[in-house]
Amino acid sequence: MAKLSEQEIEAALKRLSGWKLENGTLVKEFKFSDFAESVRFLTRVQPVADSLDHHPDVCIYYNRVVVHLTTHDEGGITQLDVKLAEKLDDLAKLH
Ligand SMILES: C[C@H](O)[C@H](O)[C@H]1CNC2=NC(N)=NC(=O)C2=N1
């Protein structure tokens, strides 16, 4: 999948909520009530990421999950990152 241009990334960021561009990755911090809820969120993410064959880089800080999205194979942001960002937003609402 082709890398998005800067204009395409800016357009995608306008549609997404809470995501920003940082060092060539899409980044968002998701907030939960505690560590267990953070882990449950990532448990819901796992099958979705596997089915897309596209995986987020994640860090858990107790009740915060920081997600970085980039397409490693392309060395930049692709439409797959935008699609995964939308899915993560949906999954974060489910807790
Ligand atoms: C072999 C496997 O399909 C690839 O390594 C996939 C897996 N998940 C991936 N996830 C992400 N974020 N970027 C990739 O380039 C990528 N490549």
- Distance between CA 15 and CA 72 in Å, rounded? 23
Q: Which atom of ligand 1 is nearest to the CA of 69?
A: 12
Whose tokens are 């395409």? That residue is 8
pTM for this entry? 0.96
Rounded to two decimals, the ipTM of the complex is: 0.95
What gap in Å lies between CA 91 and CA 72, rounded to an integer?
23
End-to-end CA distance of the chain: 31
Closest residue by Cα to atom 3, ligand 1, is 53
Q: Which stretches in the chain have pLDDT values below 70?
A: none
User: Residue 68 belongs to what H/E stretch?
Assistant: strand 64-69
List the one residue out of 56, 53, 59 whose CA is nearest residue 1.
Answer: 53
Instruction: Enumerate domains of the chain plus CATH numbers.
Output: 6-92 (3.30.1360.20)
- How many angstroms is it from 59 CA to the middle of ligand 1? 18
